[in-house]
Structure 1
Amino acid sequence: MLEFMDYVQAAFHAQGGWNRDNSYSSLTTTAHNLLDFQIPHGLRMHISSLSSPNFGTSYTVGSKGVVDGSLSFLYTSLGLSLPARSRTAHLEGLVQGYRHLAALRPPSQTNWTEVLRGGKTIRQKDSLLYGRLYLPTSTLEALYLRRISPNRLLRLNGVSDGSLPSGGSLLALLQNDFGKYSTEYLYSTDSSLIGIRGLYNFGYDPRHPDTLSGRPPAHPWDHQGGRLSAGAEVYFSPINKSGGVSTGLRFTTLPIHTGFPYTMTLTINPLMGNLSSTYAVKAGRNLAFCSRFDFNVYSYESDVMVGVELWQRQQHAPETAWARRLLRPDWPQVEEEVNGVLKARVDNHGKVGLLWECKLKELLVSLGAGVDLKKRERMLGSVGLEVSYSS
């Protein structure tokens, strides 16, 4: 489940019209959500508040042998409108599951805020500032987001910790989204790492829509209700004199697809010899499956992992639903409220992960456990419980 500050950052991107899925770094987001979900460790409590549309705070207290915690503060120039209270928040926006990709669209300029300064109307470049202090280690984490233009976003991540070689590190990331393709340029003070990423979407080009019919031009992949994307990344460290490269493909169905939604990805790291393929399918409204196969061409080692996601929704009484259809058939269908989500995964090494996330009155609860089937003496591994409350 997303932490409160991550939930607010997602709202910042959504309200500003930034497409987080149109980047190479998000190529395998669906498989990551279904297979690599985090299992809580120990007991942890989150108390958060969005005191105004521009300012939020969050406090965390946990116990994993020793008492630890963190203090978080967030400010954004973009007034956010979202259900911030845990009682009114929707689990669909907090639980990261199967990711449905929408049709491509060019970055919109209508989401930019216009302000009047000196008799001139200018566009305000929205920004977000976030800081988090971890206790008792006194580690400081900071994030700065700046929407430079409708198709450009600057992201700065910083960490201050005395245990690091230079006492801290800074990561700068410049993202460009042109709809049809996207690019990312990054630099890290840790080893002076520099890199570039790119993603290209085949088919419909949102920059040149069909002006005659107002609809996207016909294309084989568009006709099938799917989108094929290809991307790659290259990075190099002059200090360590080492680098890396990877490339990947993704095919996913779009909302116009009439069958089951599904997503397929293939990523390759030629220098390390790693190959990874995933397949995720939304088998029903409340059910999703995912599988991943990893193989190394140098060592011939392979790993297989499968996962399932099951959503539990509140069921209406049969007599209530019957009366509704009989008396008022013109009423629109009401979306059923989600009570909880169950996630499970297992790999070929016998390691099982279970996670149950639900809303309990005004609290958001995450309960998880890890099981190792090959350790008969101690099969039950980590067990954790997280409770969140926001106002």
Structure 2
Amino acid sequence: MLDFMDHVQNAFYGASHWNVDNSYGNLTATARALLDFQTPRGLRLHVSSLAAPNFATSYTIGSVGVVDGSVSYLYSSLPLLRSFKSAQLDLRHVINGYRHLGHLRKPDESRWWELWHNGKRVDCRDTLLYGRIFLPQSTLEALYLRRLSPTRQLRISAVSDSSLNNGGTILALLQNDVGKYSTEYMYSTDSALLGVRGLYNFGPDPRLGPTTPVTAREVTEAVQGRFSAGAELYYGMLNKSGGISTGLRFTTLPNHASFPYTMTLTLNPLMGNLSSTYSVKAGQNLALCSRFDFNFYSYESDLQVGCELWRRRSLTDVVWAVKKLRPDWERPAVATDDDVSGILKARLDQEWRIGLLWEGRIKDLLFTLGASLDLKKREQIFRAVGVELQYSS
């Protein structure tokens, strides 16, 4: 389940019209959501609040051998009007599941962001500031996020920790997204790393959309899937080493006639790693995923399978009560994901390691219950068991 601050950052992306899925870094996000979920360890409690539309706080305390915790603050110049109360929020916004990618949208016009007063421009760019300190380690995290234009964003993250080289590291990322393609340029103080990556989407260009509504509808109905290709190149100037990777993705779009699915293929030629994934929404409540990794230098391979099962709220009692009060009542249309009450996730690899996760809501609390098992170690099958509770107001 997403941390409260991650949820707020996603709300900032949505309010500022930034598409986080149109990035090479999120090419395999669907498979990662189904297979790479983290199982909690021990007991951890999160208490958070959106004190104002521009300001949020969060406190965490946990017990894994020793008592630890964190304190974090967030400021957004863009008011966030979505409900963040744990008793009211939509679970789809905080639970990572199968990702339904939509049609690419045309970027906002630059003039829409202009604000004039007495003949002078007085508009400012939306900014998000975030800081978090971990106790008792005194490790500090910081994030500076700024929307430079409708198609450009600057993201600077930093970590201060005495255990790291030079006492910490800074990562700067300049992102460009015009819909049809996206590019990212990065620099990290760790090894003076320079990198560039990009993603290109085949098919219609959203910047050159049809002018008439009829033609636009016909084009939308005709495009039921999207094929994307991307690559990444990075080089560390201090350690004189670099890397390269490339990837492909095909995903169905919302107007696809049959079940949604996503396929990806990534390759790292220097390391010899090849990875393929297939994710499918097999039903309204069920999603399945598989990932096969192969190294053509060592001939080693790995196979993982996983699934997620969504639990829906029962409307039987509510329907009966309303019908008794209003004989002429007609049941309202309910969206396919509007009645979500929880989710069960499971994964299994070829070494018989199992991960289980159950996420949902009890009253005003969000909960995450997880366990890691190793069936080959009969004397100690349970590797880790944990519970996380979140409350936000």
Residues 221 and 255 in structure 2, CA contact (< 8 A), matched pair in contact too:
no
What are the residue-to-residue correspondences of 1:4-15 with 2, within 5 Å?
4-15=4-15
Q: State how far apart, in whole Å, the 2-side matches of 1:155 and 1:43 are.
A: 32
Partner of 1:43: 43
Q: Post-superposition shift, 1:340?
A: 1.1
Match among 340, 344, 358 for residue 356 of structure 1 = 358
Partner of 2:259: 260
What are the residue-to-residue correspondences of 1:135-150 with 2, within 5 Å?
135-150=135-150
Q: State how far apart, in whole Å, the 1-side matches of 2:318 and 2:44 are.
A: 41
Q: State how far apart, in whole Å, the 1-side matches of 2:243 and 2:216 are.
A: 37
TM-score by structure 2 length? 0.94
Partner of 2:31: 31
What are the residue-to-residue correspondences of 1:103-252 with 2, within 5 Å?
103-109=103-109, 115=115, 117=117, 119-212=119-212, 215-216=215-216, 223=222, 225-252=224-251
Q: State how far apart, in whole Å, the 2-side matches of 1:111 and 1:45 are.
A: 45
Q: State how far apart, in whole Å, the 1-side matches of 2:118 and 2:148 are.
A: 21
Residues 204 and 216 in structure 1, CA contact (< 8 A), matched pair in contact too:
no
Q: State how far apart, in whole Å, the 2-side matches of 1:319 and 1:160 are.
A: 52
**2:238 counterpart SS class:** coil
Residues 230 and 249 in structure 1, CA contact (< 8 A), matched pair in contact too:
yes
Q: State how far apart, in whole Å, the 2-side matches of 1:288 and 1:385 are.
A: 24
Q: Post-superposition shift, 1:97?
A: 0.4
Give deviations 1:245-266, integer Å, cap 9, x for gaps.
0000000000110100000000
Give deviations 1:264-305, integer Å, cap 9, x for gaps.
000000000000000000011111000000000011110000
Q: State how far apart, in whole Å, the 2-side matches of 1:158 and 1:385 are.
A: 29
**1:14 counterpart SS class:** helix
Give deviations 1:304-348, integer Å, cap 9, x for gaps.
000010010111117926949973348444665322110000000
Partner of 2:294: 295
Out of 253-262 and 337-346, give the one that drifted further.
Answer: 337-346
Q: State how far apart, in whole Å, the 2-side matches of 1:111 and 1:29 are.
A: 33
**1:2 counterpart SS class:** coil
C-alpha spacing 1:40/1:111, structure 2 compared with 1 (3 Å): farther
**Two-structure CA RMSD over aligned residues (Å):** 2.2
Q: State how far apart, in whole Å, the 2-side matches of 1:166 and 1:373 are.
A: 42
Residues 234 and 244 in structure 2, CA contact (< 8 A), matched pair in contact too:
yes
Identity of paired residues, percent? 59
Partner of 1:317: 316
Residues 17 and 111 in structure 1, CA contact (< 8 A), matched pair in contact too:
no
Residues 126 and 146 in structure 1, CA contact (< 8 A), matched pair in contact too:
yes
Partner of 1:327: 328
Give deviations 1:29-63, integer Å, cap 9, x for gaps.
00000000010011100000000000000000001
**1:144 counterpart SS class:** strand
Give deviations 1:181-207, integer Å, cap 9, x for gaps.
000000000000000000000001001
Unaligned runs of 5+ in 1: none
Q: Post-superposition shift, 1:90?
A: 1.3
**2:12 counterpart SS class:** helix
Q: Post-superposition shift, 1:211?
A: 2.4
C-alpha spacing 1:135/1:10, structure 2 compared with 1 (3 Å): same
Q: State how far apart, in whole Å, the 2-side matches of 1:222 and 1:241 are.
A: 50
TM-score by structure 1 length? 0.95
Give deviations 1:202-259, integer Å, cap 9, x for gaps.
001001112255645988x983500000000000011111000000000000011010
Q: State how far apart, in whole Å, the 1-side matches of 2:61 and 2:255 are.
A: 45
Q: Post-superposition shift, 1:378?
A: 0.5
Q: State how far apart, in whole Å, the 1-side matches of 2:108 and 2:293 are.
A: 38
Unaligned runs of 5+ in 2: none
Letter in structure 1 aligned against 2:328: L
Q: Post-superposition shift, 1:152?
A: 0.1
What are the residue-to-residue correspondences of 1:46-85 with 2, within 5 Å?
46-85=46-85
C-alpha spacing 1:111/1:354, structure 2 compared with 1 (3 Å): farther
**1:124 counterpart SS class:** coil
Out of 266-275 and 108-117, give the one that drifted further.
Answer: 108-117
Letter in structure 2 aligned against 1:380: F
C-alpha spacing 1:112/1:312, structure 2 compared with 1 (3 Å): farther
Partner of 1:308: 307
Letter in structure 1 aligned against 2:301: S
Out of 121-130 and 50-59, give the one that drifted further.
Answer: 121-130
C-alpha spacing 1:308/1:236, structure 2 compared with 1 (3 Å): same
Aligned length: 390
